[in-house]
Amino acid sequence: MSDLRFAIFGTGFWARFQLAAWRELAGVQCVALYNRTRAKAEALAHEFNIPAVYDDAEQLLSRETLDFIDIITDVDTHLKFVEMAAAHHVPVICQKPMAASLADAQRMLAVCTEAGVPLFIHENWRWQTPIRAVKAALDQGTIGTPFRARIDMISGFPVFANQPFLKTLDQFILTDLGSHILDVARFLFGEAQTLACQTQRVHTDIRGEDVATVLLDMQKPGADRSVTVVCELAYAENYLEHDRFPQTAVFIEGSAGSIELTIDNWLRVTTSDGTYARRVPPPHYAWADPLYDVVHASIVPCNADFLAALRGEHPAETTGTDNLKTVELVFSSYRSAAEHRTIDLQQLT
């Protein structure tokens, strides 16, 4: 089987890790880079020995023979580039958040459907080794029927110091981090039936929200009961005794026990037989930042899932169709916070 050829759109901070992760997989080759600032694309192309560089996306799509493109640009450009790729009948992988609005996300899915090309969303958070371990433990049924859960990504990490542009966003933590955590909630517990959200702005020099709490009533098809899920998000830059950035904490209560994912990737399953504890650390790749291993390592299996789907081996997990449901949760959270009420999501379908 010949290698699948692809191009990357956007050569900013995240592109280096995305490209390095692709190189961990056999049967795929990056043949071109696009960036509006050509010098940035040229620097990355030189580092990774990519043969072609463009500062015109339309020109790249017209000249290159591609099996897919990987969009790693600002969210405001996602719709434009997806429409462009669909017009050229090129499959698309797009970074999260999927789109700047629910309408844009719906349009992205529609143009790809009309063109007959797949749309995948690079939602890598659910591919983290510890999150997959939680899912496996939950599926074993050891703790009985789950009825309540908490998913936390709370950190004092100075995110605005590292990425000052985040201060200018009208919507921040729900689109940026909430896209990940709400997708994890769906991955573990099914679809939400109702949603209530409250947001806060702790930093006084930012435009968007840096703290959010989302309460969901979730249920899988055929499940006997729903699960109350609380998602807690914060980049308040306050002081925590044990800052676990960028790790996610999970606590699940079931009718016969509990599952807990805690700091340093410890997974604990407690039943009447006692507590079984083990570490579930991610693999380390030479190109990854050790402090970000849990995030960087998750790119590889996420990309592998897309590659298998493009080869027709099995459907991908995070398609545009699937991720649209996460986008709906994100923007329903904003609506709930603005209107100070619970949203009945079943009335929106």
Q: Residue 93 belongs to a domain with what CATH number?
A: 3.40.50.720
Domain annotation covers residue 155: yes
Whether the predicted pLDDT of 349 surpasses 70: no
Do 164 and 207 belong to one domain?
yes
CB-CB contact of 169 with 208 (8 Å): yes
At 158-208, the pLDDT tens digits run 988 877 888 999 999 999 999 999 999 999 999 999 999 999 999 999 999
Domain annotation covers residue 164: yes
Domain annotation covers residue 305: no
Containing domain of residue 190, as a range? 125-281+320-347
Do 72 and 133 belong to one domain?
no
Do 115 and 263 belong to one domain?
no
Q: Which whole number is the average pLDDT over 295-318?
A: 97
Where does the pLDDT of residue 121 fall: very low under 50, low under 70, confident under 90, or very high at 90 and above? very high
Whether the predicted pLDDT of 215 surpasses 90: yes
Tell me which H or E stretch contains 197. Answer: strand 191-200
Tell me which H or E stretch contains 32. Answer: strand 28-34
Domain annotation covers residue 315: no
**Residue 246 preceded by cis peptide, ω within 30:** yes
Q: Structurally, how many domains does the chain consist of? A: 2
Domain annotation covers residue 306: no
Domain annotation covers residue 290: no
Domain annotation covers residue 28: yes
Q: Which whole number is the average pLDDT over 22-45?
A: 97
CA–CA separation, 233 and 125 (whole Å)? 14
Do 181 and 57 belong to one domain?
no
The percent helix, strand, coil of the chain (3-state, each to 5) is 40, 25, 35
CA–CA separation, 53 and 36 (whole Å)? 11
User: Judging by beta carbons within 10 Å of its beta carbon (0-12, 13-18, 19+), is residue 184 exposed, middle or buried?
Assistant: buried
Do 337 and 270 belong to one domain?
yes
Do 143 and 8 belong to one domain?
no
Cα 262 to its chain centre, rounded Å, is 20
